[in-house]
Amino acid sequence: MVDHAPPTVPRVTVIVTQRERFSLSERSLETVLADRAIAFRLIYVDAGAPPAIAAYLRRRSREAGFLLLHQPAPAWPNHSRIVALRHVETEYVLFLDNDVLLEPGCIAALVACADETGAGIVGPLYLWSDGEERPRIHTAGGALKIVERPAGRAIFEIHTMMNEPVAAMDGRTAPEPCQFLEYHCLLARTDLAAGAHGIDPDIVCVHEHIDLCLEAARRGLPVMLEPRARIDYLAFADYHLHDLPYFIWRWRREAVESSLAMLSAKWNFLDDREAYSGIRAFCREHVAGKTLVHSAAAFQPAEGDAMPTPVESLAPLIRQLTRLGYPDTGLRSIVFAHDLARDLFDGCYRPCGRPFLNHAVGTAGVLAHFRLRVDIVFAGLLHAAFSHGRLDQDRAPTPAELAARLPGALGRRVILLLHRYHAWQRDPGRLLRSWPDPASLPVAEAEVAAIAIANAIEELASGEITLSAKPAAGAGQIDYLARAAVAMGSASMGQALRRLHAAVASSRLSVRLPIQDSFRLRDGRKVPAAHA
């Protein structure tokens, strides 16, 4: 391996492993290679990166001379760390996740802190952001609170200064003791990490960092925060479709519970509902907020469930959602969305003559059939709000007017999605031009693609395309959207789109209406419903 700094014997080996996704690998690695303040060896463990990212890693390993190891996918970060440790000969090892940006000089500052304090583990000031906006503090070291219960001890984790501005650390430049640090960026003595009772292969999903810090404390080795070293954890950067299979596997519930049980047994802690409520809620909400389906367990519709049954009114839609296990809160939000769609599309008709509201409900029904998240189903009901909706005479609603009608956080999320969908309506080729491989679509844009697929399926399944002069989508667009459905994890949605498109192409009716655009009636005349 080649050193990446002044020609001295490296005292630290950097090990990079994936945390939960792949899409930030290149951006993260380049900041590691750019930190030349101290000599270091670099080992990168690839455990199933998508082809383009894997090719980048191979090229950079040749150019920069670092060791690239391959793990069978999927692999736990702790297992990858253990594999990489077999190749470490230096005094220190720095563990990095593949979704962080290092500030220059970070590695040298961590090593200097370990030298000066005799620490077993050293970590930087952890910031977090989307990589574009100004970061805030993720944690300035962690604290552990042990609470004695009648049945035993419970352990609580506390992220110090979480979400405070970075300026809150101004003037604090000396190393400080803490009780835990995180694998986003964690320097450890190699004999601690690789030795007996070091990294535990059975604690793999959550709290593995706490386990190693408890072991350092058991050995009498300090755990130190070095605030002069800083990293930016890109927690809020876009996730991409090719991230999701590993992401869902990484945070599955049984792995969370197994790791908590192993930690509790090892350190004689209670598997305490209150103490572990935070990490359990994080894992549950983390997955729910990033995946496109309303339940990770229902990632794929059942075999033979590929063709949706047309739904055009509220009662069948609610029955469908209930049968598929959507929660009551979701059902209530859909009723609300239906009432708003009724107002927006009042007096608006599709080219085939049916009320526009029927098409909106049908689009939502397709999304529900393929188990999309409830906020995406909600947006499906309102997908044409900015193009065809009106809250008063012949004028599209403004975002502010729509926001006033939509509830809270769900409303804000839906409005952003509707904006993105409206941009797609104006330029349907944008997704293909920007992301030729649909697997690389950001999840936010994949939500747009999901609504576009549902819209197309509904138009085809309803018979609208065969009866009216409205043209079907082109074969290239259908192919792209079908491949996007596969990348979303719903091959059956893509199959339904292809099958319906092929059937309609060969079965135009002998009697066809001459209208190709949605319309409203004004003084007995049909006028285009779409806003200019």
- Looking up residue 447, the CATH number of its domain turns out to be 1.10.3210.10
Which of 244, 279, 313 represents a domain boundary (last residue)? 244
Q: Is-contact 333 405, C-beta < 8 A?
A: no
- CA dist 1 and 87 (Å) reads 11
Strands (E), 199-260: 223-233
Q: Are 200 and 307 contained in the same domain?
A: no
Q: Is-contact 213 198, C-beta < 8 A?
A: no
Burial string for 205-234 (b: 16+ CB within 10 Å, else e) reads: bbbbbbbbbbbbbeeebbbbbbbbbbbbbb
- CA dist 278 and 301 (Å) reads 31
- CA dist 108 and 339 (Å) reads 60
**DSSP 8-state symbol, 180:** B
Q: Are 163 and 56 contained in the same domain?
A: yes
| pLDDT of res. 305 | 59
Q: Are 76 and 204 contained in the same domain?
A: yes
Which of 179, 210, 244 represents a domain boundary (last residue)? 244
Residue 286 resides in a domain? no
**DSSP 8-state symbol, 309:** P
Residue 136 resides in a domain? yes
Residue 7 resides in a domain? no
Residue 75 resides in a domain? yes
- Closest CA relative to residue 21, chosen from 50, 45, 44: 50
Give the up-direction half-sphere exposure of residue 293: CA atoms within 13 A in the CB hemisphere.
22
Q: Are 227 and 303 contained in the same domain?
A: no
Q: Are 341 and 489 contained in the same domain?
A: yes
Which domain does 171 fall in, by range? 12-244
11 Cβ contact partners less than 8 Å away, ≥ 6 residues apart: 38, 39, 90, 91, 92, 111
- Closest CA relative to residue 381, chosen from 408, 347, 344, 425: 344
**DSSP 8-state symbol, 306:** -
CATH of the domain at 111: 3.90.550.10
Residue 271 resides in a domain? no
The one-letter code for the residue type at 234 is L
Coil, helix or strand for 111? helix
Q: Are 389 and 519 contained in the same domain?
A: yes
Which of 244, 259, 288 represents a domain boundary (last residue)? 244
Q: Are 311 and 235 contained in the same domain?
A: no
Q: Are 495 and 380 contained in the same domain?
A: yes
Residue 280 resides in a domain? no
Q: Which long-range contacts (CB under 8 A, 24 or more apart) does 58-65 make?
A: 60/29, 60/33, 64/2, 64/4, 64/33, 65/1, 65/2
Q: Are 44 and 180 contained in the same domain?
A: yes
**What's the Rg (C-alpha) of the chain?**
27
Q: 3-state SS string over 353-403?
A: CCEHHHHHHHHHHHHHHCCECHHHHHHHHCCCHHHHCCCECCECCCHHHHH
Concatenating the DSSP letter of every residue in 392-441 gives BTTBPPPHHHHHHHS-HHHHHHHHHHHHHHHHHHH-TTHHHHH-SSGGG-
Q: Is-contact 41 10, C-beta < 8 A?
A: yes
- CA dist 333 and 331 (Å) reads 5
Q: Are 138 and 216 contained in the same domain?
A: yes
- Closest CA relative to residue 16, chosen from 60, 52, 69, 89: 69
- Closest CA relative to residue 344, chosen from 384, 404, 403, 315: 384
Q: Are 207 and 143 contained in the same domain?
A: yes
- Closest CA relative to residue 251, chosen from 198, 183, 209, 297: 297
> How crowded is residue 342: how many other Cβ atoms within 10 Å of its Cβ?
16
- CA dist 69 and 46 (Å) reads 6
Q: Is-contact 310 278, C-beta < 8 A?
A: no
How far apart, in Å, are the Cα atoms of 237 and each of 294, 442, 459? Answer: 21, 10, 34
Residue 300 resides in a domain? yes
Residue 5 resides in a domain? no
The one-letter code for the residue type at 489 is G
Q: What's the chain's length in residues?
A: 532
- pLDDT tens digits for the chain (532 residues)? 445 545 579 999 999 999 999 999 999 999 999 999 999 999 999 999 999 999 999 999 999 999 999 998 899 999 999 999 999 999 999 999 999 999 999 999 999 999 999 999 999 999 999 999 999 999 999 999 999 999 999 999 999 999 999 999 999 999 999 999 999 999 999 999 998 899 999 999 999 999 999 999 999 999 999 999 999 999 999 999 999 999 999 999 999 999 999 999 999 999 999 999 999 999 999 998 888 886 544 444 443 457 888 899 999 999 999 999 999 999 999 999 999 999 999 999 999 999 999 999 999 999 999 999 999 999 999 999 999 999 876 788 988 888 888 878 888 899 999 999 999 999 999 999 999 999 999 999 999 999 999 999 999 999 888 888 788 888 999 999 999 999 998 999 999 999 999 988 767 667 778 888 999 998 889 999 998 6
Q: Are 83 and 232 contained in the same domain?
A: yes
Domain tally, the chain = 2
